[in-house]
Amino acid sequence: MGKRKTPEERAAEQERHTRAQGASSDAELEPFLTDPNQSIRNTAAMNPDASPAILARFATDRFWSVRIAVAEHPNTARGTLLTLLEPNPARRGVVHHAARERLERDGVRFGEDAMPLTDN
């Protein structure tokens, strides 16, 4: 079991969470790219003011929940969504499927290999 957080640590996390929700520019969201708390990074990636550029940076997060938030975000560029697809079938998971669902809603057609057709 991990070390319990102090009241000050919990208050600091809550404050960062609130700032991640209320950020209105890439400059305000950028510090959250490296926040040690996955939940705070996830909140920042779901921020409605996140630009396609900052979302592309969140798409490289090591945690799947942050990458799913990017896949589901309406501002995410198609190129970023394509980077979330996993070409190796053995490694596909929830991120690949979330990106595929979003791309299909946007009119991208997929082949039998679960990858986009080149004529899209």
Considering all CA atoms of the chain, what is the largest pairwise distance in Å, rounded to the nearest integer?
55
99 part of a folded domain: yes
Question: What confidence score (pLDDT) does residue 109 get?
Answer: 96
112 part of a folded domain: no
- The tens digit of pLDDT for each residue in 50-103 reads 999 999 999 999 999 999 999 999 999 999 999 999 999 999 999 999 999 999
Residue 83 sits in a domain whose CATH number is 1.25.10.10
117 part of a folded domain: no
Tell me the residue range of the domain where 81 lies: 7-105
73 part of a folded domain: yes
- The tens digit of pLDDT for each residue in 11-42 reads 999 999 999 999 999 999 999 999 999 999 99
CA 31 vs CA 38, 58, 113: distances in Å: 13, 11, 38
Q: Report yes or no: 117 and 109 within 8 Å, Cβ to Cβ.
A: yes
> What's the CA gap between 41 and 44, in Å, rounded?
5
| First-to-last C-alpha distance (Å) of the chain | 49
11 part of a folded domain: yes
Domain count of the fold of the chain: 1
68 part of a folded domain: yes
